[in-house]
Amino acid sequence: MIRKTDFYIDGAWVAPVTANDLAVINPADETAFATISLGSSADVDRAVAAARAAFAGWSQTSRDERLAKLESLATIYERRSDEMAKAISQEMGAPITLATRAQARAGLGHIKAFINVLREFEFEHALRDDARNEHIVYEPIGVCGLITPWNWPMNQVTLKVVPALAAGCTVVLKPSEVAPLSALLFAEIVHEAGFPKGVFNLVNGDGPTVGEAMSRHPGIDMMSFTGSTRAGIAVTKAAADTVKRVTLELGGKSPNIVFADADLPKAVAAGAAHCFNNTGQSCNAPTRMLVQRSVYDQAVKLATEAAESTKVGNPAEEGGHIGPLVSETQFNKVQGLIDAAIAEGARLVAGGPGRPEGFNRGYFVRPTVFADVTNDMTIAREEVFGPVLSMIAFDDEDEAVQVANDTAYGLSSYVQTGDPERAKRVAKQLRSGMVQLNGAGRASGSPFGGYKQSGNGREGGKWGLEDFLEVKAVSGWPI
């Protein structure tokens, strides 16, 4: 049994003010394998005090000083990547191959990408050539409270912590209490990299206690949150009294529009695989597949075959299978939404309720496909966060766009078509922060974030750095 109940505050591992042990559950076998402690508002006070004390010095460091620390962080992270992958696999059930190649590697990729951004970012410049005595200065916003989720733990930790530190901010991180071990390992890496005490602090805890205390804290200048829309609303309301900046990366119900002129077998297989990847626990998963009616029946057959060929297995084993959902709470939620889809008349063509054959424990679910879904069904409206694909037929381009945009969310959209002009035309009409055409991947440094109830702000690239900066205009700058 792993026991890691201390928090990282002011450059040292310290015991919580009041012990409040919590078991960390391995989702593959439902057994406790680690113990952490949940923090309190008193622990948040200590962490914020350390971050505030450190801000004066860290905010005045040079670009080169910050680059040196981040480069050390990247080197140590890379050396300990196998440890990171194992921690992620145990705590949230990602198969070890996925945990190594995608989950842990994403963290390293973001660290290196922000190093490149920091090297090139222009922190001071004239307003324009004909107004050179108007000087624009980008300055760190201050102490930042960062709340990260369990589904892509290092992806989100590095997307927040690294640009905040690069900007000259100091931080208090609250990782998910469901999957905290990877963040505790990250804190060890930060310590080894030699960041000054108080620049980075970590307090474990739940949202209603530690998350609420951070959001309300007058000593925190900005909150950056990734998680459910419900929790993001709570963070925003709690932060309102102190008028702090809030950036949010929330849920999604991303449409994947498949036109009849697309390479149908490729488009459907790739769309289903993307939906099921990470056991469906990705905010940008293409969970609504909108298919032109003339090829709809063929697409349903292809999606059924894709689901039936998707293997479910032990996350400790290498391979391309999917693992369990992260927790009993998540398992019950997904089962309830599958049941609701059946009750509302969606046609189940693959998977369905219960665990896959051969599993009698662990939070494993069956890769599931529903056909003949209408966009007013619960399964088409709510974020499932499980390997569940909803298929919806459409007649023409206008209807496809209308159905795609008929959602409270606006994180990502996907379009599959053989017509380049239609691809561009539809992409511009989709109300989402990201659009991927014909299976194209996202480039390094591309901004990640959404419209509507998918949040505000952007993570990654120069946009991710700018989120942690204030803009100051100085008139009369001597030239």
Query: Catalytic: 283?
Result: yes
283, 383, 459, 466: the active-site residue: 283
Give the residue from 396, 93, 400, 388 showing the smallest Cα distance to 253: 388
Count of CB atoms within 10 A of residue 333's CB?
17
91, 177, 212, 249: the active-site residue: 249
> What residues act catalytically?
249, 283
